[in-house]
Amino acid sequence: MGCRGETPAVIAENILTDLKSQFEAAVAASRTLTAMPSNATLLELYALYKQATVGDVTGDRPEGFDLVAAAKYDAWESHRGTPRDAAMTAYIALVTRLKG
């Protein structure tokens, strides 16, 4: 039981709700960065966001001349199996670092 008589399930839900709020704030903050991140960092932000909001990448890797789509797929694929809460936490940490 928690310090206020909360069950472990309620405590876990409160933690997840707080993490989601922090994640949403980091997403908003990422749109207001004063300096444009490198392409590698943008891909990492994309991949972590997708992993946090969708889960593992699905479908086939884009082929042909769509190099941007292939790079996005590869970046997202690199996080396959990462739990959503871990992806949110990593996204928050990256945005915090980018904000300086």
Mention every residue, 6+ apart, whose C-beta is less than 8 A from residue 91.
23, 26, 27, 45, 48, 49, 52
Q: Label residue 1 by pLDDT band (50, 70, 90).
A: very low
pLDDT digits (tens, 9 = 90+) for 14-69: 666 899 999 999 999 999 999 999 999 999 999 999 999 999 999 999 988 999 99
Domain that holds residue 59: 8-99
- Domain count along the chain: 1
Give the separation between CA 17 and CA 11, rounded to whole angstroms: 10
Note the pLDDT of residue 9.
74
Looking at the predicted structure, is the pLDDT value of residue 71 above 60?
Answer: yes
For residue 7, the model assigns a pLDDT of: 84
Output the six-digit token pair for 44. 């990492």
Non-local CB neighbours of 61 within 8 Å, separated by 6+ positions: 70, 73, 74, 77
CATH of the domain at 66: 1.20.80.10
Give domain status of residue 2, yes or no. Answer: no
Which residue shows structure tokens 């997403």? 27
Q: Residue 73: is its pLDDT beyond 80? A: yes
Q: Are the C-beta atoms of residues 89 and 19 closer than 8 Å to each other?
A: yes
**Does 8 score more than 80 pLDDT?**
no
**Residue 95 falls inside a structural domain:** yes
Domain for residue 33, yes or no?
yes
Confidence of residue 3 (pLDDT cuts 50, 70, 90): low
- For residue 100, what pLDDT is reported? 86
